[in-house]
Structure 1
Amino acid sequence: MIAFTAAEIADITHGRLNADPALIPTSVVTDSREAVPGAMYVAKPGEHADGHDFMESAFERGAVLALAERPVQALDGTEFPAVIVEDAVLAMGDLAREAVRRIRAERSAEGQDVTVIGITGSAGKTTTKDLLAGILSAEGPTVAPKGSYNGEVGVPLTVFAADTDTRYLVIEMGATGIGHIKYLAGIVRPDIGVVLGVGTAHAGEFGGVENIAKAKGELVEALAADGVAVLNLDDQRVAAMASRTIAPILGFTSEQATAEAAVRATGVDTNDAGNPVFDLSLPGSVDQGAVEQEAVVQHRVSSQLIGRHHVGNLLAAAAAAHAAGVPAERIAEGLSRQGAASRWRMERTERADGVTIINDAYNANPESMRAALRTLADLGRGRRIWAVLGAMLELGEDSIREHTAVGTQVVRLNISRLLVVGREARALYVSAVQEGSWGDECIFAETVEEAYEILTAELAPGDLVLFKSSNGVGLRHLGDRIALPPHAEATAHEGSALL
């Protein structure tokens, strides 16, 4: 973390200081349980709890300073050392912006570079971030988000993990409205901007898909003329963003018809484990005397990710790494050695009794739901396959139509068993029944607990089970429970009761 004195923090955030001006925090946390000696605790109001209520806990764990919106008194009547600001989250952004500026300035003064890469899209951000960070970390000190830190809190927390030794700073950018990515890009000033796709996730919040495209394009609008815009040319809305940036375009495609793409996947296939394999084509150069001509460098990629739909994420990471100057052979090697690095994203577990769990329930939208179901069908040839599906949230007026389409797809893919969980996904169940799936092929469970009872009673050795829903539904935790060996959960509960 860049060193800021308490006085500097107050100045940068326009706050009021009631602590030792020379105090220097060594880390930043927003969860009191994560506080360690030397930390600055950000007390922000939340949807379900107010961080100010946990300030005492943070200081008991070693916090030395708070960034807060109001003073908080300890039991002895004294105020906890703090910088008091109007908005703690915006203050985090101000501090992160200055941290990036100092990192750039100090590295430049030493004749070194720092490359900041921003990634956005309706799906695949975290997987692409993980892939890219895996490639770049072999080239130099790299900082990337934990999990899915991609908002107005997560982006500053990622920045605070960087320092003047950082060579690559990878930033994941999410949004729930127009202007959000513009704000995040203004904090980190990306050199490379990656746009993966424009889907229907959060369509209800945005007011339509076109507004999602407008918001995602804010990333390339923030790029300077010496930056690089990495665009998915297989997505028409993303391809159209070329007109919204002054930066050069580096396009990627897995479709041969897209002639403008410099980064390509050809010969795309999946192996028996469902891992995508393809030939990666990257632009290269051949030095012929005084003339430098463009050439194509091609390498085989054998990914450890599950599902053909990850080809786009693999290409995006390859294009961004190429834009950052990584040689083609090391890009291909980096893509081939990596599996899923973040939890609940096509996460595969093999139970000892022969049941296979694929937990892809960190999030869901119509595009990712269709991709996961196609992967399930491909992997499940010769096995009984289950799709345990919950609601895709935040689709607005398109919700019933999109859930209906998924139910129809399940039947047409000949998936053996469909278990739909929760009333918000009932349209999915109804459409599957109407399409021709009835009896014990299609089951509706009101609650996650009811779904758990059905699965524990009916799963049999050799079954393959996919869990997929939006984060708020909680099927990722159901997937974790089912992934335990039979009777392991009861044993765990009995053990904890004895503590």
Structure 2
Amino acid sequence: MHLLASQIAEATGGTLHGPDVGVDSAGIDSRTIGAGQLFVPIVAARDGHDFIASAVRAGASVYLTDRAPDPAVAATAVQVADTGLALADLGRAARSRVGDRVVGVTGSVGKTSTKDLLAGVLATTYRTAASEKSFNNELGLPLTLLGAPDGTEAVVLEMGARGVGHIELLCDIATPDVGIITRVEAVHLEMFGTLDDVATAKGELVESLPADGIAVLNADHAVVRDMRSRTSARVLTYGTADDADIRATDIVLDDQLRAGFTLHSPWGSTPISLQARGEHQVPNALAAAAAGCGLGVPLDELAGGLRNAALSGLRMEMSTTSAGVVVINDAYNANPTSMSAAFNSLARLDARRRFAVVGTMAELGADGAAAHRDIARQAVEQGITVIAVDELAYGATDVLHVPDVASAVDALGELGDGDAVLVKGSRVAALERVAQALAD
């Protein structure tokens, strides 16, 4: 989104120093900044102001600063009181230049995939922008809005939370017209405290919607379904329940674990085929379909958008090695719900032997140890050999514990045609390294 430095100063209440040049997007990482961008130095564990000069050398034409500009830095500066708050203000300014199709997506699981699927749906009909990767916090969300090209007609924003009040803050910046809530699960409890706190936080999205907005709620998940009482917006429900507004029947998986089903809606019915793998992607596709239908996407276009949508990386990526080993790389993140879904997908794969290389499921709170044991028990009951990397909480029964990635690869032994390996853990475990080693 093109902004002049003077407009940046006006939106942030800042002071302009230098020529009134323009920018087309913004960034907070000097290592990835590009020509014509605004650099926003964030003060956190490291002070972003230390990297202003390198960002300018990389091409930033304007930068924010909460201190006197350095005359040795040859770029326009906008001096503000707080760079983080200024970034939020810029997000609000960018939002004011987008139309009435801003969608917020939140939930304990499935929000990134739902965001990706919905972006594919809306792009069939509107000029669409969406959060990159998991740009879902008070920094990533305004960056997404600022990165939306001029003329954008729809924006899909992933919204994460570390506690009660965070979604409310994001909604204050984004003022969404449509809100999707996927599921509420006992994840990130180290930050939230209780499951009720998670539900309170996620429901802030539908509370923020205008009366002429749309709340898209999971009919198969009672905690989410009951959030209809927390919004004045029109409600569309989705799921497999008979009374869901957008419903799936005849769900099947092909030999590549890609889901297909029949979609039923007030706008008609149509067959759906996904590139996304796993039956757990069906509700995500239904959520995207509900929002798409509510925003006027024709059913035939919607089906094509779902079919062609590309998911963010490290989510059920399937490949086959030269030795014929099927590797499922689902290493982006892990919690009991997503881990169970991944095991179910692996169990349905036609394979001679099935292995799961798993890492920690982080931020589960006091019940974390029990959750690890329960999920390991499920895998074993499904005939899956579990190799746990640097996480003893999975328990000793029928689980092989290894200290690191190299040991996990060694423990898999000689693999060949008919073997399948799932790799999954929380982001901190970085278990995609196992999949990379198997591919080499």
Q: TM-score range by the shorter chain?
A: over 0.9
AA of the residue aligned to 1:367: T
Identity %: 41
Q: Distance in 2 between matches of 1:28 and 1:191?
A: 24
Q: Report Cα offsets for 1:243-295 as digits up to 9, x if no partner.
A: 00000110011133xx2x210001222222222221100112xxxxxxxxxxx
Q: Distance in 2 between matches of 1:46 and 1:29?
A: 15
Cα gap change, 1:345 to 1:382, in 2 (>3 Å)? closer
AA of the residue aligned to 1:409: Q
How far the C-alpha of 1:19 sits from its partner, in A, is: 2.8
1:195 maps to which residue? 181
Q: Distance in 2 between matches of 1:70 and 1:451?
A: 49
Number of equivalenced pairs: 440
Cα gap change, 1:68 to 1:251, in 2 (>3 Å)? same
2:162 maps to which residue? 176
How far the C-alpha of 1:168 sits from its partner, in A, is: 0.9
Q: Distance in 2 between matches of 1:27 and 1:57?
A: 17
- Any idea what SS the aligned residue of 1:103 has? coil
1:292 maps to which residue? none
Q: Distance in 2 between matches of 1:255 and 1:69?
A: 53
2:13 maps to which residue? 14
Q: Distance in 2 between matches of 1:452 and 1:72?
A: 51
How far the C-alpha of 1:315 sits from its partner, in A, is: 0.4
1:466 to 399, 422, 427: 422
2:78 maps to which residue? 83
Q: Which range moved further: 264-273 or 394-403? A: 264-273
Is the aligned partner of 1:96 residue 2:91?
A: yes
Q: Which range moved further: 360-369 or 297-306? A: 297-306
Q: Distance in 2 between matches of 1:252 and 1:140?
A: 23
AA of the residue aligned to 2:438: I
2:47 maps to which residue? 50
Is the aligned partner of 1:156 residue 2:137?
A: no
Contact 1:73 1:80 in 2 (8 A): no
Q: Distance in 2 between matches of 1:317 and 1:85?
A: 39
**Tell me, which stretches of 5 or more residues in structure 1 are unaligned?**
105-113, 285-296, 485-499
How far the C-alpha of 1:139 sits from its partner, in A, is: 0.8
Contact 1:2 1:99 in 2 (8 A): no
Residues 76-155 of structure 1 correspond to what in structure 2 (within 5 A)?
Answer: 76=72, 81-104=76-99, 114-155=100-141
- Any idea what SS the aligned residue of 1:407 has? helix
- Any idea what SS the aligned residue of 1:458 has? coil
1:447 to 393, 396, 404: 404
1:291 maps to which residue? none
Q: Report Cα offsets for 1:138-166 as digits up to 9, x if no partner.
A: 21211011111111111111101224411
- Structure number with greater Rg is 1
AA of the residue aligned to 2:23: P
How far the C-alpha of 1:462 sits from its partner, in A, is: 2.8
Contact 2:351 2:418 in 1 (8 A): no
Is the aligned partner of 1:426 residue 2:389?
A: no
Give TM-score scaled by structure 1 length: 0.84
Contact 1:32 1:57 in 2 (8 A): yes
How far the C-alpha of 1:363 sits from its partner, in A, is: 0.8
Q: Distance in 2 between matches of 1:46 and 1:475?
A: 27
1:264 maps to which residue? 247
Q: Report Cα offsets for 1:37-84 as digits up to 9, x if no partner.
A: 22211111233x33222222111111122113334647x5x6864223
- Any idea what SS the aligned residue of 1:54 has? helix
Q: Distance in 1 between matches of 2:326 and 2:422?
A: 9
Contact 2:25 2:143 in 1 (8 A): no
AA of the residue aligned to 2:91: A
AA of the residue aligned to 1:100: R
2:29 to 19, 28, 31: 31
Is the aligned partner of 1:283 residue 2:266?
A: yes
Residues 337-486 of structure 1 correspond to what in structure 2 (within 5 A)?
Answer: 337-338=308-309, 340-379=310-349, 381-415=350-384, 417-422=385-390, 425-430=391-396, 433=397, 437=398, 442-455=399-412, 457-484=413-440
- Any idea what SS the aligned residue of 2:187 has? coil
Residues 194-233 of structure 1 correspond to what in structure 2 (within 5 A)?
Answer: 194-233=180-219
Contact 1:2 1:162 in 2 (8 A): no
1:329 to 273, 290, 300: 300
- Any idea what SS the aligned residue of 1:45 has? coil
1:64 to 58, 61, 65: 61
- Any idea what SS the aligned residue of 2:437 has? helix
Q: Distance in 2 between matches of 1:29 and 1:88?
A: 12
Contact 1:254 1:311 in 2 (8 A): no
Q: Distance in 2 between matches of 1:122 and 1:395?
A: 12
Q: Considering Cα pairs closer than 8 Å and 6+ residues apart, tell me whether 1 or 2 has the greater RCO.
A: 2
- Any idea what SS the aligned residue of 2:2 has? coil
Q: Distance in 1 between matches of 2:149 and 2:118?
A: 19
AA of the residue aligned to 2:77: A
- Any idea what SS the aligned residue of 1:341 has? coil
How far the C-alpha of 1:353 sits from its partner, in A, is: 1.5
Contact 1:251 1:263 in 2 (8 A): yes
2:283 maps to which residue? 312
Q: Distance in 1 between matches of 2:215 and 2:425?
A: 31
Q: Distance in 2 between matches of 1:255 and 1:357?
A: 33
Q: Report Cα offsets for 1:71-111 as digits up to 9, x if no partner.
A: 4647x5x686422333322211111101111334xxxxxxx
- Any idea what SS the aligned residue of 1:169 has? strand
Q: Distance in 1 between matches of 2:272 and 2:98?
A: 34
How far the C-alpha of 1:13 sits from its partner, in A, is: 1.6
AA of the residue aligned to 1:483: A
- Any idea what SS the aligned residue of 2:418 has? coil
Contact 1:52 1:72 in 2 (8 A): no
RMSD: 1.8
Contact 1:120 1:174 in 2 (8 A): yes
Contact 2:124 2:302 in 1 (8 A): no
- Any idea what SS the aligned residue of 1:477 has? helix
**Tell me, which stretches of 5 or more residues in structure 2 are unaligned?**
none
Q: Distance in 2 between matches of 1:8 and 1:298?
A: 47
